[in-house]
Structure 1
Amino acid sequence: MGNYKSRPTISCVDELKKKISESYALFRSKAIEDLRPRDSDWSELQLACSRGDVVRVTRLLTDENIGEKTDTGLSLLHIACISGVGKDLVELLYTKDSKTVLSKNQFSPLHLATYKGDGEIVEALLTGGADVNLPGNSDVTPLHIAAMCGHHEIFKTLLDYGGKINASDAVKFSPLHIACYYGHDKVVEQLVIHGADLNISGGVGDRPLHLACAKGHLKITQLLVEGTSHQKADVNIKDDEEHRPLHFCCKGGNLVILHYLLEHRADPHVCNIYGDTPLHLACYNAKTEVARQLVTLTGADSLIKENIFSETPLHSACTNGRSLDLVKFLLDQPAVDINYQGKDGHTALHSACYHGHFRIVQYLLESGGDMNLVAAVSDQNGGSEKLEEQTALMWAYEKGHDSIVIFLKHHKRPQDESACGDYSQPGSDGSYVSVPSPLGKLRSMTREKIDVLHLRATLPHQFHLQLLDIECQEVIGSGSFGKVYKGKCKGKTAAIKRYRASTVGAKSDVDMFCREVAILSKLKSSYVIGFLGACLDDPSQFAIVTQYISGGSLYSLLHEQKRLIDVQSKLTISIDVAKGMEYLHNLPQPIIHRDLNSHNILLDENGHALVADFGESRFLRSAEEDNMTKQPGNLRWMAPEIFTQCTKYSIKADVFSYSLCLWELLAGELPFAHLKPAAAAAEMAYHITRPPIGITIPKPIVGLLQVGWHANPDDRPEFKEIVPILEECKQSQAVAMLSNADTTPIVAFPTALPMVTDRDSDDEGRSTPPLAGHVSALRSHWEQEATRHNDPPREEIRRHLPFPQIDKNGYVSDPLSTLRIPIDLPRQDTRDRSQSPNT
């Protein structure tokens, strides 16, 4: 089903033709630059050439200075051709130096003489042996230049000297394309006579006839269509988007050419790849008289045709909204129904409301337009197939057209006794859909615009990017905001996060985008993802560009690639993440991440970790704010105080999420993998359940997990307390023994982390059990270890625990661990010697 709202405002072919036009404009500016050189620094010989002083040039010219050039790369022959001083000097210079030289702007003397239109100089150069087909700037040959400028006599001279009649430039345009584009009929006539390919294809499949019809050049159109006895231009030939010449003619409003093409059997009802007929394009571009003639001359077949966006010509006219006469004409046609619904259900009234055309909306309603018909629009935010039914009023409301919203809500139809308000009236013919007041929507839009303007003003200049600066390649991630691509930013590999310009639930993408850019621009740490810049010009082009981290996410490493990591590497990762979070929490204006999980921990090629994805993050103005968002981030790693709908939480929520990530890293399993994310969060919040702790986890880290995921946020440590414990643990003898105990062969991995090749390999020979394991295996192994070491009886352990040791599902019910190993967190001493990573 089509979704009208996603229709591009400009087609791919239109976009490429715009770039082609810009490239020719640049070409001409470069040519003019070479034709108007600055002679203030020229030598005596160069000045003599510019004056055409053959005697003086002869006297000054030597074998040493014959190759003399200006700063812009102009040779003596260039200067003579530019000055137009006669062919005698040109012949003299060509005799002395016959080498072809291009200027810095990539023009030969023949290119410049042709552009200037100096036939005598062109003749002299060609007689001297100049290459008539030499490509210059943009691969343009002298023949292309003569066609561009309309120098038909020079064009004939170039043809006589062997100019390639079908040569292509950088955009695959032949001289015939260029002559048609610029409307030089005498050049076109010569090309037709000399046998140029009249149906030759350009860079986007565009043919000379397409260009002539789009530009409205009737005589050229006639020359091409009538052609010669050997060949003629095809009046129904297609470009890459299957536009025919008639499409371009109607889009441009060229009425005379329309009649000419129809007389030569052009198909008036043919469609392009978007399903647009010529009548569609006439209506999209408000060409009223062309639309009248099409319907009068060719019948009503196109009036009821839909394109792939569920649009008939009436929809198209209401989308454009510039011609009320066109809308009136279409509604006068017997085949047209004012309330016709396209495949997705939207009517012409929907189109007019969405684009804010008040006069059209008013006329449609007065003519019997039904404002209660609904369009079925797919949910674009999550990419699901769920359809939402929307009235025309809701479309106007979505785009912030408040005058139309007010008009629709209070519109009085002729059959109504009174105008309807916000709610439907029982027993009335029309069931008006109640909608919220537009005031809230308008306020939201105004606030978003202010946020974007403020961001543009405050973001340092070096971070401002244009969409042309970035190149998206393959998709490496996605979310409700849009997609993340691996790509290029100014030639460097980067990660590019493209935002959708839409609303996600109660949160606006614009708000999230502005906040994320504002946060990233303030960060500078080797433990946090690096910010390269952002595109801020338009919501449809919003993008955030960061450094590309080749190793991917910790989640992918553990749960998709299912790699085993040695203990030292795990501790390296955990320390890096802790240092990144310490940096965020200890900034002058602290940042709370709110979405710390293994998806957002990235690993570089050296096995080090960086904290990423600040879409849910925000600056903290006080230690605890009472207006925080409810339930941001991923539920599986969410702190209990956030999950329970609390709006007052602190940076200690990040500590809880970090503790789950630390357990996940050491265990190699997802926290509560058998439960859905919401159920896992509920278990932790309401039953104070925590993942089971394996006996091989180093004792200091056991204690760290116990306090890190404590139910009371105040009892959790800060990251400046966590980092020293992890660093000391990494250097400890116990961890070294754990690292050396695994005798399984190690293989290289792109992240440079030592990995075990086979997760299912035999564990015999291990001096320690695996750091990852299922609950049942963990329980049985713990019981064996307890028996072997003559641990105290369970009754004695239970005396110290307020809850049972392990519940029926194998989870630790106590907010602390099964193994109550005491740990003394460093307090004042640690605070004195701990530092932020970047201080």
Structure 2
Amino acid sequence: MGNITKRGSRDLVADSATLLEESLVTALHSRLYDAIIKEDCDTIKTLLRNQPVNQPLTILASSSSHRLLSQQTQPIFPIHLATEYRKPRSLLCLLQHGADPEVRDGQGLTPLHLILLNWPVTSTTWNKPSTRIQKVLMDIQRNTILCLHILCGHGAQVNARVDNRNKDSPLHLAITYGTYSVLSILAQNGAQVNAINEYSMTPLHMAADILNKNMIQTLIACGANVNCAVSSTGQTALKLAVSTASSKAGRLLAAGVGCIRLLLNHGAQVDAQDHEGQTALHEACFGGREVIINLLLEFKANVNILTRNGESPIYMYLQNRSNIRDVTLLARLLDRTYPLRLSNKQGILPSGIMMPEFHLLRKTLIKLSKKPLTLEAICKRTIRNVYGEKYKSYLKTRLPPKLWNSIYGIYDFTSLLK
């Protein structure tokens, strides 16, 4: 019995020592946590003498040393803490004392990834803050940008990918969570502007898909390839932008025209085909948004190009019942289309004109498709398509009136379709 008592006493002493040691570690971690949040660099330097800078802080969920601690249930590296809460002075202090800018947390995120994922949603544009809220927002924005510069200046890998299924690079994350100013900072520090993620999308593909003109402009200025295609689909940035701009949401918000023109002005191939053989004009015609169609035609989009299934842009236009009611736009497309192919390789007509309400129109279009044009008519149509409305007035001053009237006195498809 005496031996048991002595052994129990020794165990009790050992347990007490262990608890005391754990209590001291917890207190140390809590103090370092507080110092990082408060950006108390003197205290950080002192505490790092007893706490390895690249060792996670373990904070009890019930700790009350800081109001943020109650939310902390997982170990967190000091550098991640400073980054997540946008504490530039603490971040710089940690890096100067050996913090690893490439250390990853349990989710496979580096400090650079973390700052991009927590980028401020609100972008401030005030020259001088006039309210307390504006001042707070400007401070958050400024501190976040400063943290990004500090990380880049201390060796953070700007091309390190996230360990998740998307395999996003920092530039991809910046598109999703950041602002266009982030892109130039990353690019200036060596980020690969044409890097692809798991879905073979470059940052420019992503920016075009969400119709962010500022991001598109910044990426192009940083050397993005405007004609790079997504390997799985063959879609270019132009095709993605046209698809989004031609959707119901794009039409409702009147979005995307500036993005599409920007891409075209910087060399985007207007007739680039995806793996199905569709071009941007096929996409625009299916959506039926006139301003997008006219913009692509302005850049000489080919109205007669066919998909792998033998579908022309006008075929796509006639697929959508709501498009067909715009007879003016339909007439403009008909004037540029020759030969008029109404069916695809399987001999199937567009679903839109198969509706009973378009019975007469269907008969008219079938008749037009079977009526060949004369060589003279084809030449006149070609001249109109090449010079378009832009040079119509100019040609009128250069051509004999009879010839000009012969070229531009075209057949009125609009009256035929009504």
Greater relative contact order (Cα 8 A, min sep 6): structure 1 or 2?
2
Give the direction of change, closer, same or farther, for the CA distance of 1:225–1:56 in structure 2 (3 Å limit).
same
Partner of 1:66 in structure 2? 54
Residue correspondences, number: 286
Which amino acid in 1 is paired with 2:211? G
Q: Deviations over 1:509-538 (max 9, x none)?
A: xxxxxxxxxxxxxxxxxxxxxxxxxxxxxx
Q: Distance in 2 between matches of 1:252 and 1:51?
A: 54
CA distance 1:283–1:100, shift in 2 (3 Å): same
Q: Is 1:311 paired with 2:311?
A: no
User: What is the 5 A alignment of 1:435-454?
Assistant: none
Q: 1:279 aligns with which of 287, 304, 314?
A: 314
Aligned to 1:162: 190
Q: CA deviation at 1:235?
A: 0.2
Return the alpha-carbon distance in structure 2 between the equivalents of residues 151 and 306 of structure 1. Answer: 45
Distance (Å, rounded) in 1 between the aligned partners of 2:104 and 2:360: 58
In the TM superposition, 1:367-446 aligns within 5 A as none
Post-superposition offset of 1:78: 1.7
**Residues 251 and 287, structure 1, Cα contact 8 Å, conserved in 2:** no
SS at match of 1:269: coil
Q: Secondary structure at the match of 1:92?
A: helix
Q: State the partner residue of 1:207.
A: 236
Aligned partner of residue 112 in structure 1, secondary structure: helix
Q: Which residue of 2 aligns with 1:646?
A: none
Question: In the TM superposition, what are the counterparts of 1:654-693 in structure 2 within 5 Å?
Answer: none
Partner residue in 2 for 1:251: 286
Please say if residues 174 and 183 of structure 2, whose CA atoms lie closer than 8 Å, have aligned partners that are also in contact: yes
Matched, 1:57 2:96: no
SS at match of 1:171: coil
Q: Does structure 2 retain, via aligned residues, the 8 Å contact 1:150–1:179? A: no
The amino acid of 1:214's aligned partner reads: S
Q: 2:215 aligns with which of 187, 191, 194?
A: 187
Instruction: Quote the Cα distance in structure 2 between the aligned partners of 1:259 and 1:150.
Output: 33
TM-score of the superposition, structure 2-length normalised?
Answer: 0.61
Whole-angstrom CA distance in 1 between matches of 2:43 and 2:333: 72
- Aligned residue in 1 for 2:85: 83
Could you tell me whether the CA contact under 8 Å between 1:147 and 1:184 is conserved in 2?
Answer: no
Output the CA distance in 2 between the equivalents of 1:149 and 1:330: 48
SS at match of 1:284: coil
Would you say 1:239 and 2:239 are equivalent positions? no
1:237 deviation in Å?
A: 0.3
Alpha-carbon distance in structure 1 between the residues aligned to 2:77 and 2:361: 63
Instruction: Describe how 1:214-613 pairs up with structure 2 within 5 A.
Output: 214-216=243-245, 217-227=256-266, 232-288=267-323, 292=327, 294-299=329-334, 301=338, 304-313=341-350, 315-318=351-354, 327=358, 330-331=361-362, 334-336=364-366
- Please, which of 141, 144, 151 is the counterpart of residue 125 of structure 1? 151
After TM superposition, the structure 1 = structure 2 runs for residues 30-49 of structure 1, keeping only pairs within 5 Å, are 43-44=29-30, 45-46=32-33, 48-49=35-36
Shift of 1:43: 4.8
Question: Alignment RMSD, CA only?
Answer: 3.0
Question: Could you say which residue in structure 2 is the equivalent of 1:831?
Answer: none
State the 1:293 CA deviation. Answer: 5.1
Change (3 A) 1:285 1:79: farther
Change (3 A) 1:126 1:310: same
C-alpha contact (below 8 Å) 1:250/1:258 kept by paired residues: yes
Residue 345 of structure 2 aligns with an amino acid whose one-letter code is I
CA contact (8 A) 1:277 1:302 kept: no
Inter-partner Cα distance in structure 2 for 1:60 and 1:190? 43
Post-superposition Cα deviations, 1:257-281, rounded to whole Å, max 9, x if no partner, equal 1100011111123222222222333
1:171 Cα deviation (Å)? 0.9
Correspondence 1:713-728 to 2 at 5 A: none
C-alpha separation in 1, matches of 2:203 and 2:325: 30
- Per the alignment, residue 100 of structure 2 pairs with 98
Distance 1:110 1:77 in 2: 10
For residues 329 and 188 of structure 1, the distance between their equivalents in structure 2, rounded to whole angstroms, comes to: 45
Q: 1:73 to 1:141 in 2, by over 3 A?
A: farther
Q: Which residue of 138, 151, 165 corresponds with 2:179?
A: 151
Contact conserved, 2:53 with 2:78, CA < 8 A, in 1? no
Q: How far apart, CA to CA, are the structure 2 residues paired with 1:72 and 1:199?
A: 44
Shift of 1:114: 2.5
Q: Which residue pairs with 1:29 in the alignment?
A: none
**1:99 CA drift (Å):** 4.5
Which is worse superposed, 116-125 or 248-257? 248-257
Corresponding letter in the other structure for 1:308: K
Aligned pair in 2 of structure 1 residues 291, 280: CA closer, same or farther (>3 Å)? farther
Compared with structure 1, are the counterparts of its residues 281 and 59 closer, same or farther at alpha carbon in structure 2 (3 Å cutoff)?
A: farther
What do the CA deviations read for 1:652-701 (whole angstroms, capped 9, x no partner)? Answer: xxxxxxxxxxxxxxxxxxxxxxxxxxxxxxxxxxxxxxxxxxxxxxxxxx
Q: Following the alignment from structure 2 to structure 1, what is the Cα–Cα distance between the partners of residues 201 and 325?
A: 29
Letter in 2 for 1:265: K
Structure 2 distance, partners of 1:291, 1:106, is: 53
Q: Deviations over 1:556-592 (max 9, x none)?
A: xxxxxxxxxxxxxxxxxxxxxxxxxxxxxxxxxxxxx
Q: C-alpha displacement at 1:184, in angstroms?
A: 1.4
The one-letter code matched in structure 2 to 1:221 is I
**Structure 1 position 213, deviation (Å):** 0.7
* SS of match in other structure, 2:186: helix
- Indicate the structure with greater helix content: 2
How do 1:782-793 and structure 2 match up within 5 A? none
CA contact (8 A) 1:241 1:273 kept: yes
Give the deviation of 1:182 after TM superposition: 1.5
Cα distance in 1, alignment partners of residues 206 and 182 from structure 2? 15
What is the CA–CA distance in structure 1 between the aligned matches of 2:171 and 2:102, rounded to whole Å? Answer: 17
AA aligned opposite 2:147: I
User: Contact 1:73–1:102 (CA<8 Å) still a contact in 2?
Assistant: no
Distance 1:49 1:280, change over 3 A: farther
**Residue 177 (structure 1) aligned to one of 205, 208, 211:** 205
* Separation in 2, partners of 1:309, 1:72: 60
- Counterpart of 2:138 in structure 1 is none
TM-score normalized by the length of structure 1: 0.32
Q: Displacement, 1:153?
A: 1.3
Closer, same or farther: CA 100–306 of 1 in aligned 2, 3 Å: same
**CA drift at 1:112:** 2.3
Deviation at 1:143, TM superposition (A): 1.5
Percent identity between the aligned chains? 23
Q: Which amino acid in 2 is paired with 1:141?
A: S
Distance 1:192 1:279, change over 3 A: same
Q: Structure 2: how far apart are the matches of 1:73 and 1:330? A: 69
Please tell me whether the aligned partners of residues 304 and 312 of structure 1 are also in contact (alpha carbons under 8 angstroms): no
Quote how far apart the aligned CAs of 1:92 are: 1.4
Unpaired segments ≥5 residues, structure 2: 1-27, 59-72, 121-143, 246-255, 371-418
Partner Cα separation in structure 1 for residue 184 and residue 154 of structure 2: 18
Deviation for aligned residue 1:69: 5.6
Aligned-pair distance for 1:125?
Answer: 0.7
Q: Check conservation: 1:165, 1:175, Cα contact below 8 A.
A: yes
User: Deviation string for 1:405-439 (max 9, x for gaps)?
Assistant: xxxxxxxxxxxxxxxxxxxxxxxxxxxxxxxxxxx
1:215 counterpart SS class: helix
Is the 1:282–1:290 Cα contact (8 Å) retained in structure 2?
A: no
Between the aligned partners of 2:114 and 2:359, the Cα distance in structure 1 is: 54
Structure 1 residues 246 and 73: alpha-carbon distance in aligned structure 2, compared to 1, 3 A threshold: farther
Note the C-alpha offset of 1:152.
1.4
- Counterpart residue type for residue 127 of structure 1: G
Task: Find the counterpart in structure 2 of residue 694 from structure 1.
Answer: none
CA displacement at 1:63 relative to structure 2: 4.6
**SS state of the match for residue 146, structure 2?**
helix
Separation of aligned partners in 2, 1:295 and 1:248: 15
Q: Which amino acid is 1:157 matched to?
A: I
| 1:110-146 per-position Cα deviation (integer Å, ceiling 9, x unaligned) | 1222241521111111111111111114221112222
Q: Which amino acid aligns with 1:275?
A: G
